[in-house]
């Protein structure tokens, strides 16, 4: 396959880069005005991620459709390798040590599952979606990685995989009554699911209901995050002046709780600006999905946009104490290589769909 570099849509690309640059500014600030250890590493990852955007946007969409199932199987194999020889960190076995860097295959599984589901429903056709038997295979495709990710354990990624799957089913036209039945079944299975959770995961859920139950333990993250957000006020304390960040009261300030650091140092205005940027990007993505001419592209873009929304919604809700802490990064903003690279690649796929649509429209006008 020959890849021809295509120009990316400037407006959404500028939005993504703006979010990433704001993230670098925050990493510099919470690092006490130092480029190390976070800012410079994230900058290098961003450069690689921009390359990933152009590679994804320049690759024909039909290539990803043709290799959808192959990519899914490869990701399942990588998750199996994680279970066998994965690197253990902080009690979780989620990473493969590739010598030069640690890679988290569950991040890649998120987009691989979306591509595989898009291929399945594109081949299935709209009329066949209403048959219950047609949902057995996609349900199995979702259940396998969710189960393997839960074993790591990684409740956050498992939640993203499951919710993205549900969103794709809804977009593809599955009847509402099936969602109701599934919801009732899930409610009935809650005792079993509760017994399968690790002790620390149960504590996070209980502390979510009342953080004061364990203010120095499981509730510490949420309490400190809320203090940071509240103390920032409207305008924030200013860069390098956030006491919760600079004095290390706020845990995971560069990853899961970076939004709290943003709120403390740049205040309500900074948080609102970031949310507006996210909203503009998701509206653009939604427009691309609605303009797409083929079903595979439509489901692909809808799925990626749903995943992006879930990342943002769960992370910000978690930081604000509206959802339990589940270790979900903030897209293009949290420190970390695997999530950043995969999400930038996903956005590049949306650019590819948009570019192909514009090219086809231009050819039709010329005729």
Q: Is residue 119 over pLDDT 90?
A: yes
Q: Is residue 364 over pLDDT 60?
A: no
Q: What is the mean pLDDT of residues 272-279?
A: 96
Q: Assess if residue 1 is contained within a domain.
A: no
Q: Assess if residue 5 is contained within a domain.
A: no
Give the single-character DSSP code of 241: -
How many Å apart are CA 332 and CA 18, to the nearest integer? 10
Q: Assess if residue 12 is contained within a domain.
A: no
User: What would the DSSP string read from start to end of 173-218?
Assistant: T--HHHHHHHHHHHHHTHHHHHHHS-HHHHHHHHHHH-GGGSTTTT
How many Å apart are CA 212 and CA 218, to the nearest integer? 9
Choice among 37-41, 124-128, 133-137 with the minimum mean pLDDT: 124-128
Exposed/middle/buried for residue 326 (C-beta within 10 Å: 0-12, 13-18, 19+): buried
**The predicted structure's pLDDT at residue 87:** 75
Q: Which residue range forms the structural domain that includes residue 164?
A: 22-361
**The predicted structure's pLDDT at residue 287:** 93
Q: Assess if residue 17 is contained within a domain.
A: no
**The predicted structure's pLDDT at residue 264:** 92
Q: What is the mean pLDDT of residues 205-223?
A: 69
Question: How much of the chain, in percent, has pLDDT values that exceed 90?
Answer: 39
**Structural domain total, the chain:** 1
Q: Assess if residue 7 is contained within a domain.
A: no
pLDDT top residue among 325 and 365: 325
**The predicted structure's pLDDT at residue 220:** 79
Q: Assess if residue 113 is contained within a domain.
A: yes
**The predicted structure's pLDDT at residue 179:** 79
How many Å apart are CA 9 and CA 280, to the nearest integer? 13
On average, the pLDDT of the chain sits at: 85
**The predicted structure's pLDDT at residue 156:** 83
**The predicted structure's pLDDT at residue 96:** 78
Give 179-192 pLDDT, tens digit per residue. Answer: 788 788 877 777 77
Q: Rounded to an integer, what is the distance from CA 243 to the centroid of its chain?
A: 29
Q: Assess if residue 220 is contained within a domain.
A: yes
Q: Is residue 345 over pLDDT 90?
A: yes
Give 41-65 pLDDT, tens digit per residue. Answer: 999 999 999 999 999 998 889 999 9
**The predicted structure's pLDDT at residue 211:** 64
pLDDT top residue among 102 and 71: 71
Confidence band of 256 (pLDDT split at 50, 70, 90): confident
Give 141-187 pLDDT, tens digit per residue. Answer: 999 999 888 887 788 888 899 999 999 998 888 888 777 887 888 77
Q: Assess if residue 94 is contained within a domain.
A: yes
Order of strands, sheet of 102-103, starting from the edge strand that comes earlier in the sequence: 87-89, 92-97, 102-103
Largest CA distance in the chain: 69
């Amino acid at each position: 396959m020959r890849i021809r570099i295509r120009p990316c849509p400037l407006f959404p690309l500028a939005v993504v880069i703006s979010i990433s640059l704001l993230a670098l500014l925050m990493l510099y600030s919470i690092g006490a005005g130092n480029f190390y250890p976070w800012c410079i590493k994230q900058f290098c990852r961003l450069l690689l991620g921009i390359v990933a955007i152009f590679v994804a946007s320049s690759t024909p969409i039909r290539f990803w459709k043709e290799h959808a199932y192959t990519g899914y199987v490869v990701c399942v194999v990588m998750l199996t390798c994680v279970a066998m020889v994965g690197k253990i960190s902080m009690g979780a076995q989620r990473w493969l040590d590739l010598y030069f860097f640690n890679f988290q295959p569950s991040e890649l599984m998120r987009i691989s599952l979306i591509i595989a589901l898009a291929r399945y429903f594109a081949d299935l056709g709209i009329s066949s979606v209403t048959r219950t038997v047609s949902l057995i295979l996609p349900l199995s495709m979702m259940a396998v990685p969710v189960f393997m990710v839960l074993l790591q354990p990684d409740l956050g990624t498992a939640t993203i995989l499951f919710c993205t799957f549900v969103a794709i089913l809804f977009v593809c036209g599955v009847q509402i009554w099936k969602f109701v039945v599934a919801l009732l079944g899930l409610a009935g299975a809650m005792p079993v699911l509760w017994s399968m959770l690790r002790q620390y995961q149960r504590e996070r859920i209980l502390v979510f209901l009342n953080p004061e139950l364990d203010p120095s333990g499981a509730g510490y993250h949420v309490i400190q995050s809320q203090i940071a957000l509240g103390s920032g006020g409207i305008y924030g304390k200013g860069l390098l002046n956030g006491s919760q960040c600079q004095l290390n009261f706020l845990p995971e300030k560069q990853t899961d709780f970076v939004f709290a650091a943003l709120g403390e140092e740049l205040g309500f205005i900074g948080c609102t600006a970031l949310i507006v940027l996210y909203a503009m990007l998701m509206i653009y993505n939604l427009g691309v999905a609605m303009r797409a001419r083929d079903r595979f592209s439509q489901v692909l873009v809808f799925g990626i946009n749903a995943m992006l929304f879930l990342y943002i919604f769960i992370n910000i809700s978690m930081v604000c104490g509206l959802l339990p802490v589940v270790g979900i990064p903030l897209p293009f903003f949290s420190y970390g290589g695997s999530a950043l690279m995969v999400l930038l690649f996903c956005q590049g796929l949306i650019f590819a769909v948009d570019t192909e649509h514009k090219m086809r429209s231009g050819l039709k006008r010329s005729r």
